[in-house]
Structure 1
Amino acid sequence: MTSPPIQWYPGHIAKAERALQEQLKKVDVVLEVRDARIPLATRHPDVAQWISGKERVLILNRVDMIPQSVQQDWNKWFRSQNEVPYFTNAHQGQGISGVAQAARQVGAKINQRRSDRGMLPRPVRAVVIGFPNVGKSALINRLLKKRVVESARRAGVTRQLKWVRISDELDLLDAPGVLPSRLSDQEAALKLAFCDDIGQAAYDNQRVAAALVDRIKAVYHLSPNLFEQEPLSDRYPLELEPRTGEGFVADLADIRYQGDKERSANQILNDFRKGILGAIPLELPPAIE
């Protein structure tokens, strides 16, 4: 089966990018949030250029949706790349204290530099950036310990840039999710669609669900020790083998939905996105892959 084309809207993205880049001139530190299931696919290719010279804290959210062994592998891999990842589950508050401490440490360094130049300390200005629906607003609410920005497990909730006072030491900018205006790697685009991290995009649910099943099969065959049993088998009365993803969607439709493949596809996608299928990583560190 050919990879389904994932399409989105460059005009809308370009406007959001311009607004974000203008605000980035005013910030001291960037909190970059990625999806722990697909930490490479949710790396925006332009972030390094945008934040050149600024401090950055790397956050891998939704750590509850990958096995602990995979978290450990990603931790080793990122550290081998001279990056320190902070793993969080923003909806439950896991790992938030570590992020807050990292932000405070960066702030202390910045204000020490100001003091060395004879300047008074001020609240550090930080921005939270990442793809749509990776959990940026939930992270801010946890840092604040109260709900101040709208948060939901769907893309496109944050519509505009908004400054929030975290404490006397930290001001935080909540930014809408920003996608690359062009993404030629359709495999990466598919992963964004699997996880609903792609915002206002157009794609065929049936083809994406079939590709998701194929991806789960590939990860299972690559590293079956990550799973207590064959993935999907608990939730659906079907085995992965010998079916293709397309066949799996069709057979599930026949068994449960009177042949309605759209309902079958939506069931698979929703179950995966909500974590009902369990902890399933869609990317493994390059050394493992």
Structure 2
Amino acid sequence: MPLIQWYPGHIAKAERQLKEQLNRVDVVFEVLDARIPIASHHPNVPEWIGEKPRILVLNRIDMIPQSVLQDWLSWFKSQGENAYCTNGKQGQGVKALNKAAQTAGVQMNYRRRDRGMLPRPVRAVVIGFPNVGKSALINRLLGRKVVASARRAGVTRQLQWVRISDSIELLDAPGVIPAKLDNQKDAVKLAICEDMGEAGYDNQQIAAALVDLLVELNFEQILSSRYQLDPLEITGEEYIHHLGNNRYQGDKERAAMQLLNDFRKGIMGEIPLELPPSSEGL
């Protein structure tokens, strides 16, 4: 598979602006895709935020089984992290996030008071890869649609401060992605989950990789029952070829997009593409 890379100009610019704004921020919400929590963690975030409090958010929890979610929560706890669970579309978990930000604000204003300074609203920033659901979460926190949100990467193009309440100000930042994706296995998962722009990959190759990954994770029965085509005796590439011939008059691109969209929209069911590692840290 050709190298997967995607680093458009607006993201490079947003990353520079984000680093400048982080000095003004009290607490950082890092939003991860619950289907791929490791692959959707930006490796530079710890360096960028330093000692600032970080609140991990596992979004799209409706797209993985509850048992897998619990395994992830246990794993994060073993790493010293308390992960919050959200479904940005439905608003699940948003109240807990709001409370976490307010708690951080109380601590911040205690420190300001001790230095003889007046209290102010807590300033939070929401960061993460493109299309992990940051803007949908912000709209849920606000209780109304203020920032653009859509199921594709690159909708948010610039930084924007929004006032959640008298006690919280929130910075909505465009999705950030490493300038170079060194781990290509993770890059494939990001492409499958649409957490990067489609200009960075070939749909047919990514759909084939999805088939191979589903077989590796023992989800082959979903493919067999949904598309009446057994993936066990053929490669993912051959699967897309046969699916195109059987259903779409030889149109492999249409077959690839059907399979990818069925996964991305949750039509295939609750499918995690990562399980908690046994020893690696985040």
Q: TM-score, normalised by structure 1?
A: 0.93
Query: What is the identity, as a one-letter code, of the residue corresponding to 2:95?
Result: S
CA contact (8 A) 2:14 2:159 kept: no
Q: Deviations over 1:139-170 (max 9, x none)?
A: 00000111111111111111110000000000
2:273 is aligned with 1:273: no
CA contact (8 A) 2:35 2:272 kept: yes
Query: What is the identity, as a one-letter code, of the residue corresponding to 1:82?
Result: G
2:236 is aligned with 1:217: no
2:107 is aligned with 1:109: yes
Segments of 5+ residues of structure 1 without an aligned counterpart are 221-226
Deviation for aligned residue 1:231: 2.0
Aligned to 1:191: 189
Aligned CA distance change for structure 1 residues 99 and 234 (closer, same or farther; 3 Å): farther
**Which of 46, 66, 74 lines up with 2:64 in the alignment?**
66
SS of the aligned residue for 2:103 comes to helix
Aligned CA distance change for structure 1 residues 274 and 6 (closer, same or farther; 3 Å): same
SS of the aligned residue for 2:176 comes to coil
Deviation for aligned residue 1:252: 0.8
Deviation for aligned residue 1:193: 0.3
More divergent stretch after superposition (192-201 vs 36-45): 192-201
**Which of 121, 134, 157 lines up with 2:155 in the alignment?**
157
Query: What is the identity, as a one-letter code, of the residue corresponding to 2:271?
Result: I
Aligned to 2:84: 86
2:10 is aligned with 1:19: no
Q: TM-score, normalised by structure 2?
A: 0.95
Q: How many residues align?
A: 280
After superposing on structure 2, the runs of 4+ consecutive aligned residues of structure 1 that deviate more than 6 Å are: none
2:227 is aligned with 1:236: yes
Percent identity (aligned) = 65
Aligned to 1:56: 54
Residues 18-37 of structure 1: pairs in structure 2 closer than 5 A: 18-37=16-35
SS of the aligned residue for 1:50 comes to helix
2:236 is aligned with 1:245: yes
**Which of 205, 208, 211 lines up with 2:206 in the alignment?**
208
Residues 119-198 of structure 1: pairs in structure 2 closer than 5 A: 119-198=117-196
Distance 1:241 1:150 in 2: 41
Q: Deviations over 1:230-264 (max 9, x none)?
A: 22233211122222211211111111001111111
Query: What is the identity, as a one-letter code, of the residue corresponding to 2:234?
Result: R
SS of the aligned residue for 2:149 comes to coil
Alignment root-mean-square deviation, CA = 1.6
Distance 1:197 1:264 in 2: 20
Deviation for aligned residue 1:11: 4.5
2:273 is aligned with 1:282: yes
Aligned to 1:224: none
